[in-house]
Every structure is written in C-alpha cells, then in structure tokens.
C-alpha cells in the first residue's frame, strides 16, 4: 500500500560535524486512500466515483454530513447483478458517489471497534484494520485455511458450514443494533441506520452492499456472536466471514454445537446452506488434495502466491499493472504445456478456467487461440478475462472476440457487459472495432444504466461519445447516465465542458455537487 512520505527540512550542520539524518514524516492513512485502494477490487468500479473521490472527497463528505443532519436523504440505490458462476447471480447495489464514500469514511472512522478474536480457540479471520491499514483478505484467508488444516490434526471430528445468501439476508435493524454494541457513537449509529434505510428505500432486508471492503468488515464482525457464544463447546472454532468450522474429538458435542449455531443464526433470520455442510473425514483444503497431478499442484501454489502478492483475488485494476508479476514467479514451460493440454481437451472446468486466467497473465499470447472460450463460456470470470487480455499483443483480435460475444445470440449479462466496457476504455479504444464496440455495448438489449454509464464516462472525444453525453447533460436528468456523462466530459476543453455543466447542475443538488467538483479542475 502506498504512503505519502514528506521529508522535513534538513537539520543545520556545522563544519566537521557528523551529518544528521533528517526526520521522515509519514502521512496518516485516510478514508480516501481506503476507498481508492479498494476501488479496483469492487464488482462494478465506475470511474465516476473514483474521479469524484480523488478530486472532491471533502465536498462529498460535507454533502453526506448535511444529509445525516436532516437536510435531505440518501438516494435509493441502483440494483445490480454480478455473476457468481455460469448460472447464478449475486444481487447487490451500486452506490452513488456520495453514499459510497460515506460508507468508507464511516467504517474507517470506526475501524478501531473491529477487534481481534479474544482467544486462539475461537478465531475469525478476514476484514478489519491492522497497524493502520486494512488487512489483505487473501493473506487472512490463507491463515484461515491453515487453521482449518491444523484443526484436523488437533481433533478427531469437524463440522463445516456456511450461511445461505448471507449478505442478502441480513436484517437492517440487526446491523443497526450491532453497530451500537461494538462501540460506535450514538451519532454514527443513527447515521448508519439512516444510510441503510434510505439506500434500500425502506426495505429491511437485503440492505448491505456487496463487494466493498467496509461492507465486508461489517458482515464479518456482525457474525462474531457465533464463535463468542458460551453455549458452543467445541475445542476449536474457526470462521472466515460466513464459512464456519467446528472441531472437537466428540461428534456428539459437534452435533449439539451445530444445532446451537443454527439456533443463533435463526435469531437473526439467517439459515445454513445445507448443500455445503461437511462433516467427518478431512475438510476440503488445497493441502488435502492428493488426487491432482503434480503440475496442477504447482500451478495452484503459484495461483495462491500471485493472489496473496497482489493483495486480493481481484488483481490491480490500473492499466499499467495488468498481468504483471514478479520475475521470480515466471511460469515454466512444463506448466504452460499443461495449461495448453487442459485447453485442448475441450472440457475446461470452472476451477481450471479461473486458474488459467490468473497464472497465464504474463503468457497470454501462448493461449490466444483459446481466448474466445473464456469470453463465451465463463461470464462470471469477466473481470479475470479483462486482466488476462491486458498484456495480449493483438488487441484487434481481442476486440473481435468481445464484439463477437456481445453481438452474438447467446445471453450476455450486466456484469460481462460492464467489464467489456472496462476493456474498451483501457486497451480497445484505439482498435478499428472501437466504434462497433461502443454501439453494441451501449445499445445491447441487456444493457443497464450501470453498464451504459461505463461507456459514457470514457473521456474520449471520438466515436460520437461527446454527443451521447451531451444529450444527458442538457435534459436536466439526475441519474447514473447523467452523472457518468458529466465525468466523461472532463476530456473536453474547459470552456465547452463548463458550458454544458451549467445546464446539468440545475437538475438536482447531486448534479450541482458533481458539476462543481469537475469545474474546479
């Protein structure tokens, strides 16, 4: 993580006096950094929010504080759907710039209330701050898996489970009460309740946004009542978010504990996902898999290393770092040939597809003939596909694949359309197919306001994009299409841009806020 380092003025020295090392002042970590560092790893990272936080964090927060003070309301948020796998979707919301930054700032300001587990026998891993910075979740997940593995040696039996549709099932009033219990001030508790209530238009369920680090901090800490319950008698309890493991030598004790876990969750309106419950034998971990080939084991180990070294399982979003890994991580020719054999087999599993998309980022040209397979067959890996293709030399070929999928007859959802838009902006905008991609992605029959906003916020002055944006800026609208158009206009000459924004800002208080942030730059 980056820190701003400001050296102080050199201390004065006299002739023949030993040189004195100047002091180095490390700027404190801020909620703005918290937002910007997590931004690449979110489900729908719209540059509209990123630009406004970079250029106007203070203004966004002042606007949110006025809302909290009773001068207005948080806007109901846009419902979005991200692919979980080839068939299932994850339902959540895309927060507007004010609401999104408010959540990051609120949780950042209360970060010290998210505490470590009290005992080594009852542990939870995951999302909180340590030494002033958010814990990289993949490193914490690796520690969690290690503790699960250790539990198999320390005890004779185990039961593992997770919660069905956890984030979609948490109750607004339970979250509100939890925030007060962990030590937040009464004013912050009240603000948090108002935020949850208004972004979800009054619905008490399905109110917690997914894919954001502060929301994951909330979701992870909220469940600590499971391992802290005195009614649980297991020798060892290990949890990462809603993945729960109970270990003991007595299976009867575990059965009683599992019943108690279900009772505790039921008090919060939550239930166990029965299809994922495990018991007896050895928990499923990477260390326990002795059936796969040695080459695949090496690739899985490489994948874990790359994930941890890149902070999270979502790679760095910045174009200049796409596909990059350290020199000592170079994949061997044997491993590359193994990957190619998997692709040639024609029966690629989801697990193998995800593995290849991560470990082959520095060698994407070796698997170029197979790239269309990932775009067609694995829509839930659209973000990984974006990362893989960043280093492909033939961007025209990539553009052809994307256009073929987007304009073909197969179903293409919001998540995949969005990430095709990110590909367009970052490395397909100069290809010969860019005009066709803009047209197909923007006018696709499954396009949503969020996937369209991704196109409108691209600050390019070619391909009719300025005219597309101008229509929304002149109509007095206040929605994602107009906000993205305003931010996309930053590529225009200042005088022409500001002329349009004068019309745009009359649409609402939110429009005025966004326009003023853009106009000051």
| DSSP characters over 77-128 | PEEEEEESSSS-EEEEEE--HHHHHHHHHHHHHTGGGSPPPSBTTEEEESS-
Dist. CA 126–CA 239, nearest whole Å: 9
**Does 510 map to a domain?**
yes
* Average pLDDT rounded to a whole number, residues 213-238: 94
pLDDT value at position 9? 42
Dist. CA 251–CA 271, nearest whole Å: 21
The structure tokens 């925030």 sit at 179
Q: Are residues 437 and 326 in the same domain?
A: yes
* Residue 402 · residue 375 · CB < 8 Å: yes
- Is 90 exceeded by the pLDDT of residue 6? no
Structure tokens at 40: 């690449």
Neighbours of 510 (CB within 10 A): 19
Q: Are residues 363 and 397 in the same domain?
A: yes
pLDDT value at position 54? 97
For residue 22, name the pLDDT band (cuts at 50, 70, 90). Answer: low
* Average pLDDT rounded to a whole number, residues 105-112: 96
Q: Are residues 233 and 353 in the same domain?
A: no
- Is 50 exceeded by the pLDDT of residue 212? yes
| Residue 164 burial by Cβ neighbours in a 10 Å radius (0-12, 13-18, 19+) | middle
DSSP label at 205?
B
* Average pLDDT rounded to a whole number, residues 191-218: 90
**Does 345 map to a domain?**
yes
What's the number of domains the chain is made of? 3
**Does 10 map to a domain?**
no
Q: What is the pLDDT of residues 360-398, one digit of tens each?
A: 888 888 888 888 988 988 898 899 899 989 989 999 999
For residue 49, name the pLDDT band (cuts at 50, 70, 90). Answer: very high
Phi, psi angle pair for 113, to nearest 5°: -80, -10
What residues pair up with 24 in beta bridges, in sequence order?
A: 7
* Average pLDDT rounded to a whole number, residues 100-124: 92
Q: Are residues 183 and 220 in the same domain?
A: no
**Does 369 map to a domain?**
yes
Q: Are residues 428 and 364 in the same domain?
A: yes
- Is 50 exceeded by the pLDDT of residue 311? no
Q: Are residues 195 and 338 in the same domain?
A: no
**Does 13 map to a domain?**
no
Neighbours of 377 (CB within 10 A): 13
Dist. CA 319–CA 312, nearest whole Å: 17
**Does 80 map to a domain?**
no
Q: What is the pLDDT of residues 163-198, one digit of tens each?
A: 999 998 999 999 999 999 999 999 999 999 999 999
Q: Quote the Cα angle for 374-379-385, to 5°.
A: 50
DSSP label at 185?
-
Q: Are residues 328 and 474 in the same domain?
A: yes
Q: Are residues 455 and 476 in the same domain?
A: yes
- Is 90 exceeded by the pLDDT of residue 258? yes
- Element (H or E) spanning 296, and its range? helix 294-309
The structure tokens 């939110």 sit at 510
- Is 80 exceeded by the pLDDT of residue 19? no
| Residue 394 burial by Cβ neighbours in a 10 Å radius (0-12, 13-18, 19+) | middle
- Is 50 exceeded by the pLDDT of residue 13? no
Q: For 126-148, what is the HEC assignment?
A: CCCEECCEECCHHHHHHHHHHHH
Neighbours of 240 (CB within 10 A): 22
Q: Are residues 253 and 357 in the same domain?
A: no
What residues pair up with 171 in beta bridges, in sequence order?
A: 205
For residue 20, name the pLDDT band (cuts at 50, 70, 90). Answer: low
Structure tokens at 87: 């068939």
Largest Cα–Cα distance of the chain, in whole Å? 80
Dist. CA 470–CA 485, nearest whole Å: 7
Query: Pick from 104, 83, 106: which is nearest to 95 by CA?
Result: 104
Q: What percent of the chain has pLDDT over 70?
A: 85
Structure tokens at 292: 């796969």
Beta strands at 122-125 and 236-240: parallel, antiparallel or unpaired = parallel
Which domain, by its residues, includes 373? 308-519
Q: Are residues 188 and 249 in the same domain?
A: no
pLDDT value at position 294? 64
Q: Which of 207, 222, 257 is the last residue of a domain?
A: 207
The whole-chain average pLDDT of the chain stands at 86
Dist. CA 396–CA 398, nearest whole Å: 5
Please state whether 476 falls in left (phi above 0), alpha (psi between -120 and 50) or beta. Answer: left
Q: Are residues 406 and 502 in the same domain?
A: yes
3-state DSSP assignment of residue 160: strand
Q: Which of 151, 180, 207 is the last residue of a domain?
A: 207
DSSP label at 451?
H
Q: Are residues 274 and 216 in the same domain?
A: yes
**Does 130 map to a domain?**
yes
Residue 243: CATH number of its domain: 3.30.70.270
Q: What is the pLDDT of residues 463-501, one digit of tens each?
A: 999 999 999 999 989 999 999 999 999 999 999 999 999
* Residue 236 · residue 159 · CB < 8 Å: no
Contacts of 130 (CB under 8 A, 6+ apart): none
* Residue 206 · residue 221 · CB < 8 Å: no
Structure tokens at 186: 């009464």
Q: Which of 234, 257, 288 is the last residue of a domain?
A: 288
For residue 308, name the pLDDT band (cuts at 50, 70, 90). Answer: very low
Phi, psi angle pair for 25, to nearest 5°: -100, 120
Which range is most confident: 20-29, 129-138, 249-258? 249-258
**Does 303 map to a domain?**
no
pLDDT value at position 325? 41
For residue 5, name the pLDDT band (cuts at 50, 70, 90). Answer: very low
pLDDT value at position 288? 40
């Amino acid at each position: 993580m980056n820190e701003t380092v400001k050296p102080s003025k050199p201390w004065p020295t006299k002739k023949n006096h030993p040189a004195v090392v100047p002091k180095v002042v490390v700027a404190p970590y801020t909620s703005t950094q918290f937002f910007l560092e997590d931004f690449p790893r979110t489900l729908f990272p719209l540059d509209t929010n990123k630009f406004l936080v970079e250029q106007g964090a203070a203004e966004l927060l002042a606007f949110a504080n006025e809302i909290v003070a009773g001068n207005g309301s948080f806007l109901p948020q846009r419902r979005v759907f991200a692919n979980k796998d080839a068939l299932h979707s994850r339902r959540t919301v895309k927060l507007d710039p004010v609401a999104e930054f408010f959540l990051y700032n609120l949780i950042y300001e209360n970060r010290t209330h998210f505490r470590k587990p009290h005992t080594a026998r009852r542990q939870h891993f995951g999302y909180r701050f340590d030494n002033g910075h958010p814990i990289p979740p993949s490193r914490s997940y690796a520690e969690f898996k290690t503790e699960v593995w250790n539990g198999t040696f320390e005890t004779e039996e185990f039961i593992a489970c997770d919660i069905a549709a956890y984030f979609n099932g948490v109750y607004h009033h339970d979250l509100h009460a939890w925030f007060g219990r962990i030590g937040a001030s009464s004013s912050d508790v009240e603000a948090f309740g108002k935020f949850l209530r208004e972004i979800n238009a009054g619905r008490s369920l399905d109110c917690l946004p997914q894919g954001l680090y502060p929301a994951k901090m909330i979701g992870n800490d909220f469940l600590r009542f499971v391992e802290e319950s005195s009614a649980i008698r297991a020798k060892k309890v290990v949890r990462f978010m809603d993945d729960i493991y109970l270990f003991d030598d007595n299976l009867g004790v575990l059965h009683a504990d599992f019943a108690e876990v279900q009772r505790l969750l039921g008090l919060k309106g939550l239930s166990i996902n029965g299809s994922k419950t495990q018991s007896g034998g050895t928990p499923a971990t990477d260390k326990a898999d002795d059936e796969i080939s040695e080459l695949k084991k090496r690739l899985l180990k490489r994948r874990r290393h790359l994930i941890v070294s890149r902070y999270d399982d979502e790679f760095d979003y910045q174009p200049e770092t796409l596909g990059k890994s350290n020199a000592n991580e170079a994949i061997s020719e044997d491993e590359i040939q193994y990957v190619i054999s998997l692709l040639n087999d024609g029966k690629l599993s989801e697990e193998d597809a995800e593995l290849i998309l991560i470990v082959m980022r520095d060698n994407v040209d070796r698997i170029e003939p197979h790239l269309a397979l990932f775009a067609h067959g694995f829509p839930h890996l659209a973000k990984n596909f974006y990362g893989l293709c960043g280093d492909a030399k033939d961007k025209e070929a990539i553009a052809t694949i994307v256009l073929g999928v987007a304009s073909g007859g197969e179903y293409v959802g919001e998540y995949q359309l969005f990430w095709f838009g990110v590909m367009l902006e970052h490395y397909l905008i100069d290809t010969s197919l860019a005009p066709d991609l803009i047209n197909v992605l923007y006018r696709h029959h499954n396009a949503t306001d969020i996937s369209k906003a991704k196109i409108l916020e691209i600050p390019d002055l070619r391909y009719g994009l300025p005219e597309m944006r101008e229509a929304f800026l002149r109509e007095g609208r206040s929605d994602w299409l107009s906000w993205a158009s305003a931010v996309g206009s930053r590529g225009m000459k200042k005088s022409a841009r500001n002329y349009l924004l004068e019309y745009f800002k009359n649409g609402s208080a939110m429009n005025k806020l966004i326009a003023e942030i853009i106009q000051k730059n």
